[in-house]
Amino acid sequence: QVQLVESGGGSVQPGGSLRLSCAASGDTRRSMCVGWFRQAPGKERERLVSVYLTGGRTYIADSVKARFAIALDPAKNMWSLHMTRLRPEDTGMYYCAAEPQIGERCYSGSWYPSAAGYWGQGTQVTVSS
């Protein structure tokens, strides 16, 4: 089992920046795909960014490309989402996620954690003036 604990989030004005962090504990020995998802009010949860914790090719959604970036600290089993130039449409619940050994789905195609994956508890991000 793996437990994910998120930190960060909050309220910010449009154009501002925030950082979210996720720490994994438990059985993290396996090659782990990690990432961030967002669920806006009334919408489905969408993948924003994902990569293997040890690095490599990265998936990033068009909606956040050039504004959001993922930072990895595999020695600490942690990863962060650095968000810049935030917009009101970035408002939502942000979830970190992880799933072991999913091959290329981590950085191509579609990845939505299966029953073998893990979710953080979620943290609210509100972008408003």
Give dist(CA 59, CA 6) in Å, integer.
20
Do the Cβ atoms of 51 and 69 come closer than 8 Å? Answer: no
Write out the chain's pLDDT in tens, 129 residues.
899 999 999 999 999 999 999 999 988 777 899 999 999 999 999 999 999 999 999 999 999 999 999 999 999 999 999 999 999 999 999 999 999 999 999 998 789 999 999 999 999 999 999
